[in-house]
Amino acid sequence: MSKHSTPGHSQLTRTHKFSLAGVAALGAAALAVTLVPGQDTQAQAKDETVAAAPVAFTTDAGAKQIKDVHASVTDQQAAASEKAKQAEAKAKARAQAAAEKKAEAEKKAQAEAKAKAEAQAKKEREAQEAAARAAARKPVYANNLDGWIKESLAIMKDKGIPGSYDGLHRNIMRESGGNPNAVNGTDVNAQNGTPSKGLLQVIQPTFDTYHVDGTANSLTDPVANLVAAANYAADKYGSIDNVDSAY
């Protein structure tokens, strides 16, 4: 026979090779029957022939099994890929949700800060406007005896302390002659170390006890002296108007 292969048939598939192997096995079995005489030998050869016959069928089953395994692996790879895609999509969705939540929180915080700043600005503006209105309404008193008495009467009215212009003026003229810095250094109070001072000649302990909030904390301040004296007179005599002598 020629050693050259027929063109187009130089390569055999795996299945063809398995088939040829089966045929070769059958040929070997037949040859064994021919060479060994006797019925037992023929029976054994027949059995071997029958046993060798399934080789070709086993080859087809193996090919199918390989195909099935390949399909199973392919399916598993596809399932794993799909699962990975789903996990990635979920992670991406969670990250997106977290980013949106953070952005919303920042937006809310900015809105609250803006509202707070606007409220504070409004409060300060209203306070300034109220102060301006109060300043516009507040009368300006002259820095003299008339002005001191009038300012004292306004404070006394606000604090509920009784007294009149005449009652204050009359006692001022008798006690100090209208001098806010007058000091009595000869009476019993002076001898006790607490001289009478100011427009209505008040001693320091009396001033400290009857001082009115909103006035200066100074015994010789004209308005503070008058209001404290009027407060003391209201407590002891009912009103400064009821005082006609040293009190």
Query: Residue 2 pLDDT > 80, yes or no?
Result: no
Contacts of 147 (CB under 8 A, 6+ apart): 141
The per-residue pLDDT for range 150-182, each reduced to its tens digit, is 999 999 999 999 999 999 999 999 999 999 999
The per-residue pLDDT for range 15-56, each reduced to its tens digit, is 444 444 443 444 444 334 333 444 444 444 444 444 444 444
Reported confidence tier of residue 202, pLDDT bands at 50, 70, 90: very high
The answer to whether 243 and 171 are in contact (CB under 8 A) is yes
The per-residue pLDDT for range 63-114, each reduced to its tens digit, is 778 888 888 888 899 889 999 999 999 999 999 999 999 999 999 999 999 9
| pLDDT (0 to 100) of residue 115 | 94
Query: Residue 12 pLDDT > 50, yes or no?
Result: no
Closest CA to 200 of 160, 236, 227: 227
Reported confidence tier of residue 135, pLDDT bands at 50, 70, 90: confident
Largest CA distance in the chain: 172
Token pair 């069928």 is found at 57
Cα(240)–Cα(247) distance, integer angstroms: 10
Query: Residue 193 pLDDT > 50, yes or no?
Result: yes
Between 46-60, 73-87, 197-211, 217-231, the lowest mean confidence (pLDDT) is in: 46-60
Q: Is the dihedral of CA 27, 31, 33, 34 positive or negative?
A: positive
The answer to whether 136 and 120 are in contact (CB under 8 A) is no
| pTM recorded for the entire structure | 0.49
* Residue 8 backbone dihedrals phi, psi, to 5 degrees: 90, -10
Average pLDDT over residues 108-125: 94
| pLDDT (0 to 100) of residue 59 | 65
- Residue 201 corresponds to which tokens in the numbers above? 């000649």
| pLDDT (0 to 100) of residue 69 | 81
Average pLDDT over residues 127-139: 84
C-alpha angle 191-192-198 in degrees, rounded to nearest 5: 80
C-alpha angle 81-82-83 in degrees, rounded to nearest 5: 90
Average pLDDT over residues 124-133: 90
The answer to whether 18 and 52 are in contact (CB under 8 A) is no
Cα(210)–Cα(229) distance, integer angstroms: 7
Neighbour count for residue 62 (Cβ, 10 Å): 13
The long-range contacts involving 56-61, CB below 8 angstroms and separated by at least 24 positions, are 56/18, 56/19, 56/22, 56/23, 58/18, 59/15, 59/18, 59/19, 59/22, 60/15
Closest CA to 232 of 192, 186, 201: 201
The answer to whether 161 and 234 are in contact (CB under 8 A) is yes
Neighbour count for residue 190 (Cβ, 10 Å): 15
| pLDDT (0 to 100) of residue 199 | 98
